[in-house]
Structures are given as C-alpha cells and as structure tokens.
Amino acid sequence: MIKTRICELIGIEYPIFQGGMAWVATGELAAAVSEAGGLGIIGSGQAPADWLKHEIQKIKKITSKPFGVNVMLMSPYVEDVMKVIVEERVSVITTGAGSPGKYIPMLKEVGTKIIPVVASVALAKRLEKAGVDALIAEGMESGGHVGEISTFPLVPQVVDAVSIPVIAAGGIVDGRGMLAALALGAEGVQMGTRFMCATECTISPKIKELILKAKDRDTVVTGRSTGHPVRCLTNRFTREFEKMEKEGVPPEELEKLGAGKLRIAMVEGDIENGSVMSGQVAGAVQKIESAHDIVQDVIQGAEREMERLSQRFMK
Ligand SMILES: Cc1cc2nc3c(=O)[nH]c(=O)nc-3n(C[C@H](O)[C@H](O)[C@H](O)COP(=O)(O)O)c2cc1C
C-alpha cells in the first residue's frame, strides 16, 4: 500500500488529490473523490461565499471524510470565502494566485491544513517559511493557469528545496505517472483533467466528449502576453485569442475577451467560443468512469508498475 506523509497529515487513504477546478469541481465531484479515499477539492474560483457554503453542505450530506476547498486569492470574495472555510472547519485549503500568508493564523486555529500551488522553487521556499503544511508543485503540462516549468524539472527541485511534503501536479493521468511523481520525491499527486471525465463531474457532457476525442497535441497555452497564461483545448476561441496576441492587442483587451469564457464552456457546453481548460493528458483520458474507479485505477496502477519495474530492472 502506498502511504505517505500526506495521508497522515490529512487523514486520507490514498495520496491522490482532485484539483479544485473553478466551474468544474463542485460538491458532487469532490464528495465522490473523498468518499473514494482521495481528497476531493471544491473549486471556489471567483464564486461568492454563499455558493461555497451550499457546496460544502452537499459534501457533508454524502461523506464524512476529509475534503478541501481551492481558494483563488485574487477573488473579490476571498475574505468571506475564508470565513466560510473557518466556520465549516474545512480540512484542507489549496490556494492559487499568490500567498495565503495573512490567513494562515485563522486557518491554523481551526486545524485547516494549508497547501498552496507553486510553479517555482522561490515561491515554494517563501511559503514554507510562512508556515504552510505542504505544497503542490504544478508543471505547465496542466490544464488551467500555468507557470513556465514542466513537472519533471519542477518537482525534484521543489522537493530538494523544502522539507514539507510536496504533491506533484500537471501531466499525471494514471499509475505510471503517479509512480514517476513518487520517484521524483513527491508524496502525492493532484489530477485535474482526468477527473473532468468522472461520472460525478457536473460539467457539460460536450466537454467530456471533447476530452475523450482529444489527441496529445490538442492543447495550447494562450495569454502569455497578459502575464496570465492558460492551457486549453484548441478551438475558435483560442485561435481568435492567439491571433489577437500576435497582432499586439493590449493585455486589458485580451483579459476582457477571456472573461466569463470558462463558465460558458463548462456550464453551457459552448465548445467553440468557451475556454475549454484542459491539460496535455487530455489525449490519454480514455473513458468516463466513476471517481472511485479513477482513484483505484491510479493507485493500483502505481503499485503494479512498482512491482513491474523492480522485476524488470533489479537484478
Ligand atoms: C478546467 C480546469 C480548471 C482549473 N481551475 C483551477 C482553479 O480554479 N484553481 C487551481 O488552483 N487550479 C485549477 N486548475 C488546475 C487543477 O487544479 C490541477 O492542478 C491540474 O489540472 C493538474 O494538471 P492536469 O490537468 O494535467 O491533471 C484547473 C484545471 C482545469 C483543467
């Protein structure tokens, strides 16, 4: 059985996180992943605190296991969102877009573990000093907002720079990927794209179909010129965005073009005009299946691979 410090820290059976994806990771998905023994995480994005409270209630009706909330530190509702997290005694928060520093004391008081997402060694070191419990090192293979470094070079450099546990994210889709992440020194994995195709994920079925059809080269990173690069599946929206970037359209205008596009993709199923955020592993996602089956496939696959490697190469 693969057990790491992350299992102990949070009280989960398997060190597998489902990424807290805005407009994708609702209470239904997070509850199913937590019930399956991983860590389900609600993606609170820019949603108001009432929405989050409602999603938390949903989870609590389905499972008594630990779950998390992803907090976008730039959200206009961040203060109220943090209050709900404290009131509801949420086990874990993951954070994106900056440092959760000023919220650490109030979260620690109620025992909430703080696990920020980082894309560089410098930020990882700074956040460890600030007192966070663990880190998610996310490579630019991932879906959504990305940094500049890939998972393979990023994870071992972060692992060597800090002593708290590190979870690898970006480009992990099965047991082989999980085992590779553990070999790089990670103590857990976070997957986003594969969980978008979980039965319990409430996004438009059109998006799931698109991921199932995707090939290895079907994603693109747009928005580097705005300072907020995002990886999505290529479609009319990304082609238009790329064209405008090449023409030198100012960042503010590009940001306006992108506003609200994730919602119209995920909720309304507009696969041409929406931003279909997805990782490079979209090409490897083969079917729609329950969160339980995904978690089992990844964990059993990792254990099987470990055995296979030792038989094949250890003489
Ligand atoms: C549609 C989508 C939305 C996402 N939204 C968020 C988000 O709101 N906050 C966050 O920290 N990460 C977000 N992510 C990143 C995931 O949580 C996760 O780290 C990433 O998907 C892992 O890489 P993978 O896609 O290769 O599995 C998003 C990813 C996707 C695909």
Q: Whose CA is nearest to atom 5 of ligand 1?
A: 21
DSSP 8-state class, residue 241: H
Closest CA to 17 of 161, 147, 188, 148: 188
Distance from C-alpha of 127 to C-alpha of 101, rounded to nearest angstrom: 8
Segment 188-201, tens digit of pLDDT: 999 999 999 999 99
The CA 190 to ligand 1 mean position distance, Å, reads: 9
**Residue 39: which pLDDT band, with cuts at 50, 70 and 90?**
very high
Residue 98 confidence (pLDDT): 81
For ligand 1, pick from 21, 74, 280 the residue to mutate: most ligand atoms within 8 Å of CB.
21
Average pLDDT, rounded, for the chain: 97
Residue 251 confidence (pLDDT): 93
Segment 203-235, tens digit of pLDDT: 999 999 999 999 999 999 999 999 999 999 999
**Residue 314: which pLDDT band, with cuts at 50, 70 and 90?**
confident
Average pLDDT over every residue of 126-150: 97
Closest CA to 56 of 16, 17, 83: 83
Asked if residue 4 lies in contact with residue 15, where contact means CB atoms within 8 angstroms, the answer is: yes
Residue 278 confidence (pLDDT): 98
Q: Whose CA is nearest to atom 1 of ligand 1?
A: 277
Closest CA to 251 of 223, 226, 227, 224: 226
Three-class secondary structure of residue 11 per DSSP = coil
Average pLDDT over every residue of 276-301: 98
Segment 76-122, tens digit of pLDDT: 999 999 999 999 999 999 998 789 999 999 999 999 999 999 999 99
Residue 239 confidence (pLDDT): 97
Distance from C-alpha of 32 to C-alpha of 291, rounded to nearest angstrom: 6
Distance from C-alpha of 117 to C-alpha of 42, rounded to nearest angstrom: 15
Asked if residue 229 lies in contact with residue 223, where contact means CB atoms within 8 angstroms, the answer is: yes
Closest CA to 299 of 181, 216, 154: 181
Helix axes 27-35, 291-313, angle to 10 degrees: 50
Distance from C-alpha of 157 to C-alpha of 117, rounded to nearest angstrom: 15
One-letter amino acid for residue 35 of the chain: E
Distance from C-alpha of 187 to C-alpha of 135, rounded to nearest angstrom: 10
Question: Which residues, listed in sequence order, are joined to residue 139 by a DSSP beta bridge?
Answer: none
Residue 301 reports pLDDT greater than 90: yes
Residue 44 reports pLDDT greater than 80: yes
Q: Where in 150-188 does DSSP place strands (E)?
A: 166-169
Q: Is 74 exposed, middle or buried (0-12, 13-18, 19+ CB in 10 A)?
A: exposed
Q: Whose CA is nearest to atom 6 of ligand 1?
A: 21
Which two tokens mark 142?
């991932």
Question: Which residues, listed in sequence order, are joined to residue 220 by a DSSP beta bridge?
Answer: 232
